[in-house]
Amino acid sequence: MRLPSRADGWQRPSEQVLKYYAYKATKAVEFYRPVMYLFFLAQGLSFTQIVVLEAIYNLTTVLGEIPTGYVGDRVGRRNSLLFGTVLIAVTLVGIGLAESFWAFAILYVCWSSGYNFRSGSEDAWLYDTLTDELSEDEFAHVRGRGEAAALAVGAGAAVAGGYLASVDLSYPWFVAAAVTGVGALVLVTVEESSTYEESDADQLGFRRTIEIVREVVAKRDLRAFLLYYYVLYAAVTYLVFVFLQPIFETVVVDLGVASGDVEALIGWFYAAYNIVGAGLSYFTGTIKRVVGVRTWFAVLPFLVGTALLAMYAVPVLALPTFLFARGLADVTRTFAGQYVNDRIDTLGRATVLSALAMVSGLAVIPFQLGSGVISDAVSPLFALAVGGAALVVGSAVIRLWESPVRTDPV
């Protein structure tokens, strides 16, 4: 069965795609995301300790992505997703109960490991499931709708999380754990794709897996894109999400908002932030047809970098800049997934996607540590301005070397 397209008119998505949407809607991150760094600060952590935690998270990602991607290729993408989801749910409960830096450090290792099991397997499962239905060219469309579902649910979760946090900053973590657990129940009913089952993935050796990753990274139409998106762009935009909360708090208090109202207000801001992202993600397929992936990646890093520089000069610009960055993040991630998936084979797909996430996780570590030190010494706004300058200059240098996106995906 072919998935719907604009040319064919609307048709009901397949059962497996509907389950994918349901799973995406249970990711639950927006319950705690609006207040997570305020939670850590309330526990007595400094900016430097917070970015050390983020560095631990990414170091765990670096060490675990290829092994967990390999597990996903060997035991099945659904099983890998299920294990990762259960691990994340348990970890969220632990974070809500933790009170020391070292407890958070241990939990961050578990948290990252959970996402490792999901990162490559999620897109690999979806792409192969669409291949079963002769609709792999609809990957950007379906993944965009999945992100839209997650963000739409997240808008309400962000508001709820803000109010829960105004009562107790640990409550959003517990609610998020419960909703994530519902996602595990959805995954229990998901089927493995026939494309995966008919491959030789269950006989794939680890040495051959590493060879596949090496071959993919060396491809001429992927190597510059790897640096452009997975290293530079992903690393800088990650910092935006780390420093959004303290910058938001500073800006709105300077505008006259009482400090006691910040938690609830940031929940509403994250709701708006999710609605913008959901709207753009819903029309990912349309954006792909009208703008094109090549044009998108040619322009976006320079727009984001310039916005980060501008908000240092005019701090109130941080509010629209954060909305802008959120709205574009998931569309950009989906386009990157389509571009890479179109250029790799089913055999080893989850491992390759995990390896790219590993590279991204490794690249962000020096950005995190440097930004934490700069934030403590100067301010988070200045740290993001430095990141914006690095994004503009680095993107220009890569484009002078060779074009990151050679052709638009089909």
Domain ranges of the chain: 15-195+206-401
Residue 81 one-letter amino acid: L
Q: Rounded to an integer, what distance in angstroms lies between the CA atom of residue 68 and that of residue 62?
A: 11
Distance CA 62, CA 20 (A): 26
- Mean pLDDT computed over 171-193: 89
**pLDDT, mean of residues 84-113:** 92
Residue 106: band (very low, low, confident or very high) from pLDDT cuts 50, 70, 90: very high
DSSP label at residue 9: B
**Residue 95 CA: distances (Å) to CA of 35, 57, 165, 292:** 13, 14, 14, 41
Instruction: Inform me whether the pLDDT recorded for 206 exceeds 60.
Output: no
If you average pLDDT over each of 84-93, 220-229, 374-383, which comes out highest?
84-93
- In the prediction, which pLDDT does 241 show? 79
| Nearest of 44, 27, 38, 393 to residue 243 by alpha carbon | 38
* Number of neighbouring beta carbons within 10 Å of residue 278: 24
Q: 328 — phi, psi (to 5°)?
A: -95, -15
Can you tell me the mean pLDDT for 177-203? 76
Residues 340-366, mean pLDDT to the nearest whole number:
71
Judge residue 202's burial from the number of C-beta atoms within 10 Å of its C-beta, 0-12 exposed, 13-18 middle, 19 or more buried.
Answer: exposed
State the average pLDDT over residues 59-82: 73
Q: How far apart are CA 95 and CA 97, in angstroms?
A: 5
Backbone angles phi, psi at 50, to 5 degrees: -65, -45
Quickly state the pLDDT bin for 314 (edges 50, 70, 90). Answer: very high
Q: What share of the chain is helix, strand, coil (3-state, %, to 5)?
A: 85, 0, 15
Among candidate residues 116, 140, 143, the one with its CA nearest the CA of residue 339: 140
Identity of the residue numbered 136: E
Q: In DSSP terms, which residues pair with 5 in a beta bridge? A: 9
Phi-psi region of 256 (alpha: psi -120 to 50; beta: other; left: phi over 0): left
Q: Which two tokens stand for residue 11?
A: 């048709």
Residue type, 100: S
Q: What is the mean pLDDT of the chain?
A: 80
Please compute the mean of the pLDDT values over residues 252-263 and round it to a whole number.
81
Residue 279: name the closest of 140, 149, 158 by CA.
Answer: 149
With a cut of 90, say whether residue 310 has pLDDT above it: yes
Distances (CA, A) of 59 to 52, 98, 121: 10, 21, 19
Task: Grade residue 363 by pLDDT with cuts at 50, 70 and 90.
Answer: confident
User: For 92-109, what is the mean pLDDT?
Assistant: 92
> In this predicted structure, which of 58-67, 257-266, 312-321 has the lowest mean pLDDT?
58-67
| Residue 318 near residue 251 (C-beta atoms within 8 A) | yes
Which tens digits make up the pLDDT trace of 110-159?
998 888 888 767 777 787 777 766 565 677 778 888 878 887 887 788 78
Residue 10 pLDDT more than 90? no
**Domain 15-195+206-401, CATH 1.20.1250.20 — does that match?**
yes
Q: Cβ distance 392 to 306 under 8 Å?
A: yes
Lowest-confidence range among 10-14, 47-51, 392-396? 10-14
Distance CA(127)–CA(249), nearest Å, equals: 40
Question: What is the tens place of the pLDDT at every residue in 371-393?
Answer: 878 888 888 899 999 999 999 99
Q: What is the structure's pLDDT at 366?
A: 82
Burial class (CB in 10 A: 0-12, 13-18, 19+), 369: middle
* Residue 156 CA: distances (Å) to CA of 71, 127, 146, 230, 312: 35, 29, 16, 30, 30
Q: Say what percent of the chain tops pLDDT 90.
A: 18
Structure tokens at 266: 């940031």
Q: Quick check: 39 and 32 in contact, CB under 8 A?
A: yes
Which residues, in sequence order, are bridge partners of residue 9? 5
Q: What are phi and psi of 5, to 5 degrees?
A: -135, 170
C-alpha dist (Å) from residue 38 to 18, 109, 287, 352: 35, 20, 35, 35
Higher per-residue confidence, 348 vs 245: 245
Report which of 219, 212, 194, 235 is spatially closest to residue 353, judged by C-alpha positions.
Answer: 212
Does pLDDT of 306 surpass 90?
yes
